[in-house]
Amino acid sequence: MSQAIQHNSQVMMTRHPNFLRTAEALRPR
């Protein structure tokens, strides 16, 4: 189950590289 979730996350990261930037912007400092 967790393997599928990890794979899903990798696919999302690959398709949406700006997701990390969005998370960084939304992360409280």
pTM for this model (two decimals):
0.29
Spatial separation of the C-alpha atoms in residues 25 and 9, rounded to whole Å: 19
pLDDT tier for residue 1 given thresholds of 50, 70 and 90: low
Contact 19, 13 (CB under 8 A): yes
Secondary structure (DSSP) of 8-22:
HHHHHHHH-THHHHH
pLDDT band of residue 28 (cuts 50, 70, 90) is confident
pLDDT at 27 over 70: yes
> How many Å from the N-terminal Cα to the C-terminal Cα in the chain?
32
Domain-wise residue ranges, the chain: 1-29
